[in-house]
Structure 1
Amino acid sequence: MTISQHAESTTTAFIASSDVAETAAFPGSARVELIMGMPVSVDIRTALPARELNPLLDDAFAWLRWVDDTFSPVKEDSQIGRLNRGRTLRQIPELVEVLHRCDELSEATEGYFEARIDGVTDPSGYIKGWALERLSRALSNAGAGDHRITAGNDTRVRGSAAPGVRWRVGVRDPRDGVVRKVVCAHDLGIATSGGAPVVNPRTGEIQDGLRAVTVIGPDLGLADAYATAVFAMGPMPGRRFAADLARSGPYETMIVLPDGQEVTTPGFAEHGGARSRLAG
């Protein structure tokens, strides 16, 4: 048994036993692979035959590997690596799309989300959420409309975990793994920042005024970038931006302060489950 096969079987068993207590088993299939330096899971619940599910999972992970090979700032021959070294780039529409969106997000967050610092381009605060969002749409277009995709602290759910049952996603504190909230939804992106150091682009210093920031909304790429920006802002500017974000659109935020206190925008609670806080 390969590492990925072992991870797949273990994850499938865990999902079946813990996420949907109403059913003893579920249709579909799940797989976990190491990509971007982290375990990435794709869990499809749509009842499709294996001859369709397996190619869908193959294509899903091929896409994620392509994203990593193209946008990784640490791979010298990735397009981002080549850009930072002044080398020739391939004409890739997705590269133009991502860089353009990063520029828009920089403007929308008054520079607190910034993919270019000191002449170095690094879209990491957006690219993982963007990749999972694109994958989610592709799976839906292929007929697998019931799925959950998770990479690190980012999750995209769509459809149902079981007939009529919303997905339940535990929002974990990235520092100690405690589940602070359970988010229930049929169609939502959930992004948490704070697991890795976040730099305030205005000062060039690591921001340590917050413990974690979670943003939920319809586009995981935007939620990912907003979570990074709010964390970079720090406590008071971050709370003001989160409030403005909630008033102007469908993105809600939970901010965890250094002492563990949680501050949420009003709409965040609308996605809560029966248990909003768990011990682990």
Structure 2
Amino acid sequence: MTTFPGSARTEMVMGLPVSVDIRTALPAREMVPLLDNAFAWLRWVADTFSPAREDSQISRLNRGLTLRQVPELVEVLHRCDELSEATGGYFETRMDGVVDPSGYIKGWALERLSRALVNAGAGDHRISAGGDIRVRGSAAPGKRWRIGVRDPRRDIVRKVVFAHDLGIATSGGSPVVNPRTGKVEEGLGSVTVLGPDLGVADAYATAIYAMGPILARRYAADLAAAGPYQTMIVTRDGQEVTTPGFAAYSGADARLAG
């Protein structure tokens, strides 16, 4: 099979391995600094938004200290408030007086990086970090990306998704708190959301997981009916429930995807 002469790199960022795989044919003199800048951006995001880092802007905000003028901080907090309203409060970054945008920031960072790679001429790429994956362009000439959606609890591939342009976010590998009860939600196995913006998909996956089994199905159905975000819910006993549009990205219907 014909392949692209691109380049890939994996580094530890935000406490997990992050992979940037660029398939666009670019000269080495452009590819190396492009990858350097990609990981520099991700490290800046971790330094700025991680609540676990004492001098991050989020930590300083939570301690009432002076903040730097960071436009991205305002953007992220505003978007998180919008997503909280859109999910009826089930996506919530402000609990017990503490701000923590972790349910959005990883997807947002990868989405911003993906757009930057397109602007730099690297339109064929796959970026992955944990359960968040962003693909654009082609994996090989004329070929969509083939992405295995893994079950974070059982470490098996639940679905194989094909697309040229898609964000994929899975929640359930780490504890998710139900903002209504203040307790860790344990009613579902995992939630995967597909859509055009990985940050938004990340927030939706977190919120739907936090809702528990009954509300999750209802909200996922309403979300799919209203727009481009499709959901797969895995129950605690391993059953899969998908919204109708999910099938367009897998199996025989994959030719309709992306």
Give TM-score, length-normalised by structure 1: 0.89
Identity of aligned residues (%): 79
Report the RMSD for the aligned CA atoms in angstroms: 1.2
The residue aligned with 1:97 is: 75
The answer to whether 1:54 aligns with 2:32 is: yes
The residue aligned with 1:123 is: 101
The residue aligned with 1:269 is: 247
Cα shift at 1:122: 0.3
For residues 7-65 of structure 1, the C-alpha deviation after alignment (integer angstroms, 9 at most, x for no partner) is xxxxxxxxxxxxxxx34x53110000000000000000001111111111000000000
* Residues 96, 154 of structure 1: alpha-carbon distance in 2 compared, 3 angstrom cutoff: same
| Cα distance in 2 for residues equivalent to 1:243 and 1:176 | 25
| Cα distance in 2 for residues equivalent to 1:134 and 1:97 | 12
- Worse-matched range after superposition: 25-34 or 93-102: 25-34
| Cα distance in 1 for residues equivalent to 2:30 and 2:23 | 13
The answer to whether 1:79 aligns with 2:57 is: yes
The residue aligned with 1:164 is: 142
The residue aligned with 2:89 is: 111
The residue aligned with 2:124 is: 146
Cα shift at 1:224: 0.1
| Cα distance in 2 for residues equivalent to 1:235 and 1:253 | 13
The residue aligned with 1:136 is: 114
The residue aligned with 1:155 is: 133
CA contact (8 A) 1:40 1:152 kept: yes
Residue among 168, 173, 181 paired with 2:159: 181
Cα shift at 1:176: 1.8
Unaligned runs of 5+ in 2: none
Cα shift at 1:139: 0.1
Residue among 195, 201, 210 paired with 1:232: 210
CA contact (8 A) 2:169 2:202 kept: yes
| Cα distance in 1 for residues equivalent to 2:235 and 2:173 | 14
| Cα distance in 1 for residues equivalent to 2:7 and 2:37 | 14
Cα shift at 1:273: 3.7
| Cα distance in 2 for residues equivalent to 1:249 and 1:238 | 16
Cα shift at 1:275: 11
CA contact (8 A) 2:51 2:59 kept: yes
SS of 1:211's equivalent in the other structure is strand
Give TM-score, length-normalised by structure 2: 0.97
* Residues 270, 201 of structure 1: alpha-carbon distance in 2 compared, 3 angstrom cutoff: same
Residue among 9, 22, 27 paired with 1:44: 22
Q: Which 4+ runs in 1 deviate beyond 3 A?
A: 273-276
| Cα distance in 2 for residues equivalent to 1:274 and 1:173 | 22
SS of 2:188's equivalent in the other structure is coil
| Cα distance in 1 for residues equivalent to 2:194 and 2:243 | 11
Unaligned runs of 5+ in 1: 1-21
| Cα distance in 2 for residues equivalent to 1:234 and 1:192 | 15
Which AA in structure 1 matches 2:247?
A: A
CA contact (8 A) 1:27 1:46 kept: yes
The residue aligned with 1:197 is: 175
SS of 1:145's equivalent in the other structure is coil
| Cα distance in 1 for residues equivalent to 2:125 and 2:170 | 19
